[in-house]
């Protein structure tokens, strides 16, 4: 099976502060998985907005991750706390239309920055089986 | 500012269920400030509704548009060229906006996506509080710009009631005692003399009992 067409569509919004070399590190995984994975680097996870998450799901993502700095280690003090609130709000919104809140997940990067976004993403991909394809994807409107 | 909150999506879905082409219309004024009906909220709601219809296999078209104001004809007129393309307008305006749009387009079904709540202020990010009842007979000049009708749980014109504890209202300890604020502020400005005035009961006929109120100014008319 062509790996690029297998499995779920994943969108990853992440704080650039966790991996200064993210621009290079994520390329290999992007080439490997093609459209199946989409990275959205943010200057700070506090930049994330509910609308970004909704658009990602609407565009066909089965699962959306927001990766932030570790708790207490946000470069801009509390951006990761704001990201957590926005993810929680958006989970409530998608649950209102019958989607599982788990389709959105906030991950705090492990302490001891920097991390490699490629390795972190591969770890997340290996645990993706808990979420199935989104009902938004695959049905013709 | 007029504040509002989004209705549950289940209620919104019920109202738009008969329709295939839906225009979600926001308002860039009050409800944008209180994060319930601006361009971003239009995007969130429209996105949620599109995903819901797609997941249900329904053939529904949902578009977005935000007016600077939904309660003024000059802004509502921006809908004129597009309104015929839709079966229903889902308005994220306040109750005044919904009705103003409906008046301009009497043959189009306009449905509200928001519950209009109160006149208030943005106290801090994510917190809005009611501070005006629109009573039509403002007395703020006597009360150091703290409205006892709205902010005192008992609506006392001639307070305080004596029940506050550590500056907090006895009815709701989360709320500062309006009369404590009034007295403190008048003291700070050296105008405690204003408290000597005894205020008669409010004339509520200026707010209610005569149907919808109106303001008419000849000098503002064309």
Sequential pLDDT tens for chain B (222 residues):
999 999 999 999 999 999 999 999 999 999 999 999 999 999 999 999 999 999 999 999 999 999 999 999 999 999 999 999 999 999 999 999 999 999 999 999 999 999 999 999 999 999 999 999 999 999 999 999 999 999 999 999 999 999 999 999 999 999 999 999 999 999 999 999 999 999 998 888 888 878 888 888 888 888
Gyration radius of chain B's alpha carbons: 22
* CB atoms A135 and B43 under 8 Å: no
How many domains does chain A divide into? 1
Q: Residue A37: which CATH number?
A: 3.40.50
B43 contacts in chain A (CB < 8 Å): 51, 54-55
Q: Residue A141 domain-assigned? A: no
Q: What is the pTM of this model?
A: 0.92
Burial environment of residue B57 by CB neighbours within 10 A (0 to 12, 13 to 18, 19 or more): exposed
Query: B87-99: buried (b, 16+ CB within 10 Å) or exposed (e) per residue?
Result: ebbbbbbbbbbbb
Domain residue limits, chain B? 2-118, 133-206
Domain over B2-118 is classified CATH 3.40.50.2300: yes
Backbone dihedral region of B137: left (phi > 0), alpha (psi from -120 to 50 degrees) or beta?
beta
Interface contact B199, partner A, CB < 8 A: no
Tell me which residue range forms the domain holding A21.
Answer: 3-130
Residue A63 bridge partners (DSSP): A10
B66 contacts in chain A (CB < 8 Å): none
Q: What is the DSSP code (8-state) at residue B194?
A: G
Nearest in space to B200 (alpha carbons), one of B151, B164, B160, B157: B157
Q: What is the ipTM of this complex?
A: 0.91
Q: Residue A137 domain-assigned? A: no
């Amino acid at each position: 099976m062509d790996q690029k067409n297998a499995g779920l569509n994943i969108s990853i919004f992440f704080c650039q502060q966790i991996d200064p070399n993210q621009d290079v590190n994520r390329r290999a995984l992007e080439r490997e998985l093609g459209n199946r994975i989409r990275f959205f680097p943010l200057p700070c996870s506090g930049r994330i907005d509910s609308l970004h998450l909704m658009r990602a799901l609407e565009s066909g993502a089965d699962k959306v991750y927001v990766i932030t700095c570790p708790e207490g280690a946000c470069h801009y003090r509390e951006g990761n706390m704001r990201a957590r609130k926005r993810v929680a709000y958006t989970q409530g919104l998608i649950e209102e239309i019958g989607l599982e809140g788990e389709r959105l997940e906030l991950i705090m990067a492990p302490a001891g920055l920097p991390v490699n976004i490629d390795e972190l993403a591969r770890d997340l991909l290996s645990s993706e089986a808990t979420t199935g394809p989104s009902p938004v994807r695959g049905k013709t409107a | 500012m007029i504040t509002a909150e989004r209705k549950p999506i289940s209620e919104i879905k019920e109202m738009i269920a008969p329709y295939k082409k839906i225009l979600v219309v926001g308002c860039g004024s009050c409800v944008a400030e209180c994060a319930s009906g601006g361009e971003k909220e239009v995007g969130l709601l429209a996105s949620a509704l599109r995903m819901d219809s797609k997941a249900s296999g329904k053939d529904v078209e949902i578009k977005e548009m935000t007016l600077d104001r939904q309660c003024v004809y000059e802004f509502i007129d921006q809908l004129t060229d597009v309104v015929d393309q839709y079966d229903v307008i889902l308005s994220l305006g306040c109750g005044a906006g919904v009705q103003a749009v409906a008046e301009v387009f009497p043959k189009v079904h306009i449905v509200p996506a928001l519950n209009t709540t109160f006149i208030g202020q943005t106290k801090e990010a994510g917190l809005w509080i009611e501070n005006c009842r629109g009573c039509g007979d403002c007395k703020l000049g006597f009360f150091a710009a703290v409205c006892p009708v709205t902010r005192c749980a008992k609506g006392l014109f001639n307070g305080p009631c004596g029940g506050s504890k550590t500056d907090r209202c006895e009815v709701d300890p989360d709320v500062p005692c309006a009369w404590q604020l009034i007295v403190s502020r008048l003291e700070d400005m050296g105008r405690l003399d204003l408290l000597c005035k005894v205020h008669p009961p409010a004339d509520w006929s200026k707010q209610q009992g005569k149907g919808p109120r109106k303001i008419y100014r000849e000098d503002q008319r064309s």
